Amino acid sequence: MNLYKKTASELAEMIKNKEITSEEVTRNFLDRIKSVEDKVGAFSNIFEEKALEQARKIDEENNEEGRKKYENTGLFGVPVALKDNIVSKGDLTTAASQILKNYVGVYDATVVKKLKEAGAVLVGKANMDEFAMGSSNENSSIKSASNPWDLERVPGGSSGGSAAAVAAGEVPVALGTDTGGSIRQPASLTGTVGIKPTYGRVSRYGLMAFGSSLDQIGALAKSSEDLARIMQIISGYDENDPTTADVEVPDYVSLLEKDIKGLKIGLPKEYFSDELDKSIKEVVDKTVETLKKLGAEVKEVSLPYTKYAISTYYIISSAEAASNLSRYDGVRYGVRKSDENIEEMYVKSRTEGFGDEVKRRIMIGNYVLSSGFYDAYYKKASQVRRLIRDDFLRVLSEVDLILTPVSPTTAFKKGEKVTDPVQMYLGDIFTVSINMAGLPAISVPAGFVNGLPVGIQLIGNYFREDLLFNVANRFEKERGEIKYPEL
């Protein structure tokens, strides 16, 4: 039985009803990984024995009495992948960087702890752009992941491994992280569903930091119901992360089927500029018509500060990256490359440990934070960030949701943008402003252009993930099932 074609929700119900065991499901996915991983390159580390042991334990406890010890059984016995910047105890966690190539986690991140308490089976670490810096997965020091729809193309980044693993049927659901679009862009490029929750909705304890005021842990799957189930598990206040919000987490799954008649959706005119591929605009227009048919009301809105989003984002994120990555020096963290003298050790460890893109962002970050430039760049960017946030809040006082494209293009060929970082950065033009505002957003597959998937982005008000799942789910029912590549 090709269990890898089923959604996480379907598998969870089959395991609970004892139609199949967690061990059978886990073996099926591990076999799928063995058969396609050489082509896809979605994983940096696979925990075969550990996963099977976990699955057997779940099967032993798969009864009414046994399940009582688990917090939430929405993904009970279902295999899950973790992005390689999320720490798990006893597992190699490298953030796809040479500087952490031998780092083994000494504790579980809060999201990992919650998944274990829910009876999910952790099968491995997903490949990524080094320290989550990139939009193509070509910045991984391990290997470059491929897009299952066309192996010569990128799966997007930085959560490209998580997206590729789900699209290739190597895992039904995977955790990713999103600092400027790193879940939504690969979701769009691989035909998967990806959620970036509200800043503070999910604990970042145990996440290797890139931009601390922007980073959020989210997930990728094949359906919005799958995302609703995993978000139900990982969301909520955590005393280990003071930036988490003590806001009640609604029952996402029970709200999926709500009627969306009368829902107001805004289309920001700035997101439909000439930079957007005409074929992608057609897919977005078709989605709008589908939502109108479901009873939603659509109107044009304006987010004028969008034009400053990319430059503002790269100043703030690079400044935070330079600060966060200063700890990887060969003394406190990271592989030590020299013992000749302290200066030599710092220089060699960081030069050989970090890849080109990470070095580029560290240099930009140190520049904008340096004396004489701080006011001109970082301080100014922080002020513009507030204006961008205010833009969204003004529009979201008039409408319930905002709908935009996710990426200005479909998946591009490997190597196409590697030598042009500015062109690569512009791929995030529709996603970065949401991180700066701290809002939740979801990417949902909406159609195809030349055989390649295209996603649409739904942006909600703070802590309204329930509404995103609801609208995404109603749209998915109208859109119909997606047939993923066989490989």
Out of 158, 224, 317, 433, the active site residue is: 158
Residue 182 a catalytic site member:
yes
Q: What is the pLDDT of residue 340?
A: 75
| Residue 306, token pair as written in the block | 């969008």
Q: What is the pLDDT of residue 29?
A: 97
Nearest to 193 by CA among 415, 458, 412: 458
Average pLDDT over residues 149-173: 97
CA distances from 116 to 51, 55, 71, 104, 477 (A): 11, 11, 9, 18, 31
Band of residue 28 on the pLDDT scale cut at 50, 70, 90? very high
CB 204 within 8 A of CB 245: no
Q: Identify the DSSP state of 120.
A: -
Band of residue 350 on the pLDDT scale cut at 50, 70, 90? confident
User: For the ranges 61-70, 73-82, 201-210, 341-350, which has the lowest average pLDDT?
Assistant: 341-350
Band of residue 333 on the pLDDT scale cut at 50, 70, 90? confident
* Spatial distance between the Cα atoms of 381 and 377, rounded to a whole number of angstroms: 6
| pTM for this entry | 0.96
Q: Can you name the residues that pair with 445 across neighbouring β-strands?
A: 455
Instruction: Render pLDDT for 215-226 as a digit per residue (tens, 0 to 9).
Output: 999 999 999 999
* Spatial distance between the Cα atoms of 59 and 66, rounded to a whole number of angstroms: 9
- Report the chain's C-alpha Rg in angstroms: 21
Instruction: Render pLDDT for 270-281 as a digit per residue (tens, 0 to 9).
Output: 999 777 889 999
Q: What is the pLDDT of residue 353?
A: 82
Arithmetic mean of pLDDT over the chain: 94
What are the start-end ranges of the E strands in 157-230? 173-178, 193-196, 216-221
Q: Identify the DSSP state of 76.
A: T
pLDDT at 332 over 80: no
pLDDT at 300 over 80: yes
Q: What is the pLDDT of residue 342?
A: 81
| Residue 261, token pair as written in the block | 């008649």
Output the CATH code of domain 3-261+403-479. 3.90.1300.10
* Spatial distance between the Cα atoms of 200 and 238, rounded to a whole number of angstroms: 9
Residue ranges covered by each domain of the chain: 3-261+403-479
Band of residue 246 on the pLDDT scale cut at 50, 70, 90? very high
* Spatial distance between the Cα atoms of 103 and 114, rounded to a whole number of angstroms: 22
Residue 83 a catalytic site member:
yes
Instruction: Render pLDDT for 178-196 as a digit per residue (tens, 0 to 9).
Output: 999 999 999 999 999 999 9
Out of 182, 223, 407, 433, the active site residue is: 182
Band of residue 64 on the pLDDT scale cut at 50, 70, 90? confident
Nearest to 458 by CA among 313, 309, 247, 271: 271
- What percentage of the chain reaches a pLDDT higher than 90? 86
pLDDT at 309 over 90: yes
Band of residue 372 on the pLDDT scale cut at 50, 70, 90? confident
Angle at 342 between CA 339 and CA 344, to 5 degrees: 70
Band of residue 427 on the pLDDT scale cut at 50, 70, 90? confident
Band of residue 73 on the pLDDT scale cut at 50, 70, 90? confident
Average pLDDT over residues 89-97: 96
* β-pairing verdict for 121-126 and 79-83: parallel
Helix, strand or coil, per DSSP, at residue 458: strand
Residue 5 a catalytic site member:
no
Q: How far apart are the first and last CA of the chain?
A: 17
Out of 6, 22, 44, 83, the active site residue is: 83
* Sign of the torsion angle spanned by Cα atoms 284, 289, 295, 299: positive
Q: What is the pLDDT of residue 466?
A: 98
Q: What is the pLDDT of residue 351?
A: 81
* Spatial distance between the Cα atoms of 362 and 74, rounded to a whole number of angstroms: 40
Burial environment of residue 327 by CB neighbours within 10 A (0 to 12, 13 to 18, 19 or more): exposed
Q: What is the pLDDT of residue 444?
A: 98
Nearest to 157 by CA among 184, 195, 194, 124: 184
* Spatial distance between the Cα atoms of 161 and 122, rounded to a whole number of angstroms: 15
Average pLDDT over residues 124-133: 97
CB 132 within 8 A of CB 85: yes
CB 137 within 8 A of CB 155: yes
